[in-house]
Structure 1
Amino acid sequence: MEGLIMTAQLLLGLSILVGVHEFGHLIAAKAFGMRVEKYSIGFPPKIWGFQYGETEYSFGAIPLGGFVKISGMIDESLDTESLSQEPEEWEFRAKPAWQRLIVMMGGIIVNVITGIIIFVFLVYTNGSSYIPKEELNKHGIVAYQLGQEIGLKTGDVILKVNGKDYERFSDLRSMEVLFSDQPSYRVQREDSIFDIQFPEGFLNKLTDKKYKDQFIAFRYFYEVGEVSTGSEADKGGLLAGDKIISVNNQPTIYFDQLKEILTANTDKDVVATVKRADNNMETLTFHVTPDGTIGFYPNPLINYMHDEFSFGESIPIGTAQAFNVVWANIKGLGKIFSGDVAVSKSLSGPIRIAQMFGGTWDWNKFWNMTGLLSMVLAFMNFLPIPALDGGHVVFLTYEIVSGQKPSDKFLENAQKVGMVILLSLMVFAFFNDIIQSFT
Structure 2
Amino acid sequence: MITTAILVKAGQLILSLSILVVLHELGHFIPAKLFKTKVEKFYLFFDPWFSLFKFKKGETEYGIGWLPLGGYVKISGMIDESMDKEQMSKPPEPWEFRSKPAWQRLIIMIGGVTVNIVLAFFIYTMILWYWGETYLPTKNLTYGIATDSLTQSIGLRDGDMILSVDGHKVDNFHEVAKVMVLKEAKSIQVEREGQQVNIPIPEMFISKVIERRSEFIGVRVPSVIDSVGPESKHAIAAGLQKNDKVLTVNGAPADYLHLMGRELMKAKGKTVNLTILRGSDTLTKSVSIPAEGDYAGKLGVSIRSGKDVFKFVTTDYSFAQAVPAGFSTAVEKLKDYVQQLRLIFVSKEVKVTESLGGFGAIGNLFPSVWDWQSFWSLTALLSVILAFMNILPIPALDGGHVLFLIYEIITGRKPGDKFMEYAQIVGMVILFSLLLFANGLDLWRAIRGWF
TM above 0.5, yes or no, is yes
* Structure 2 runs not aligned, ≥5 long: none
CA distance 1:157–1:9, change in 2 (3 Å): closer
Cα contact 1:226–1:296 (8 A) shared by 2: yes
1:154 to 150, 155, 158: 158
CA distance 1:251–1:41, change in 2 (3 Å): closer
Give matches, 1:51-90, under 5 Å.
Answer: 51-90=56-95
Question: C-alpha root-mean-square deviation of aligned residues, in Å?
Answer: 2.7
Aligned length: 432
2:35 to 32, 35, 40: 32
CA distance 1:246–1:200, change in 2 (3 Å): closer
Match of 1:240 in 2: 242
Give matches, 1:337-348, under 5 Å.
Answer: 337-338=345-346, 339-348=348-357
Deviation, 1:256, is 4.2
Identity %: 40
* Structure 1 runs not aligned, ≥5 long: none
CA distance 1:259–1:62, change in 2 (3 Å): closer
Deviation, 1:249, is 8.1
Cα contact 2:184–2:206 (8 A) shared by 1: no
Deviation, 1:106, is 0.4
Match of 1:163 in 2: 167
1: CA distance, partners of 2:169 / 2:253: 32
Match of 1:18 in 2: 21
Cα contact 1:14–1:64 (8 A) shared by 2: no
CA distance 1:37–1:263, change in 2 (3 Å): closer
1: CA distance, partners of 2:151 / 2:361: 25
Cα contact 2:226–2:303 (8 A) shared by 1: yes
1: CA distance, partners of 2:261 / 2:14: 37
Between 1:248-257 and 1:383-392, the stretch displaced more is 248-257
Tell me the secondary structure at the aligned position of residue 306 of structure 1.
strand
Residue 307 in structure 1 maps to residue 315 in structure 2: yes
Cα contact 2:247–2:274 (8 A) shared by 1: no
Between 1:34-43 and 1:280-289, the stretch displaced more is 280-289
CA distance 1:20–1:271, change in 2 (3 Å): closer
Between 1:41-50 and 1:241-250, the stretch displaced more is 241-250
Tell me the secondary structure at the aligned position of residue 66 of structure 1.
strand
Residue 129 in structure 1 maps to residue 134 in structure 2: yes
Amino acid at match of 1:296: V
Tell me the secondary structure at the aligned position of residue 81 of structure 2.
coil
Cα contact 2:55–2:63 (8 A) shared by 1: yes
Amino acid at match of 2:427: G
1: CA distance, partners of 2:52 / 2:390: 26
Q: What's the CA shift string for 1:63-105, capped at 9, x where partnerless?
A: 3211111122111111233444543332222222222111111
Residue 407 in structure 1 maps to residue 440 in structure 2: no
2:176 to 158, 172, 183: 172
2: CA distance, partners of 1:182 / 1:319: 27
Deviation, 1:269, is 4.9
2:96 to 87, 91, 99: 91
Match of 1:109 in 2: 114
1: CA distance, partners of 2:113 / 2:152: 42
Cα contact 1:34–1:90 (8 A) shared by 2: yes
Deviation, 1:231, is 4.8
Cα contact 2:223–2:260 (8 A) shared by 1: no
2: CA distance, partners of 1:299 / 1:216: 19
CA distance 1:95–1:259, change in 2 (3 Å): closer
Match of 1:429 in 2: 438
Amino acid at match of 1:314: A
2: CA distance, partners of 1:367 / 1:203: 29
Amino acid at match of 1:419: M
Deviation, 1:218, is 1.4
Cα contact 2:133–2:314 (8 A) shared by 1: yes
Tell me the secondary structure at the aligned position of residue 364 of structure 2.
helix
Deviation, 1:129, is 2.2
Residue 351 in structure 1 maps to residue 350 in structure 2: no
Q: What's the CA shift string for 1:257-284, capped at 9, x where partnerless?
A: 55566678884653625132xxx42433
2: CA distance, partners of 1:24 / 1:34: 14
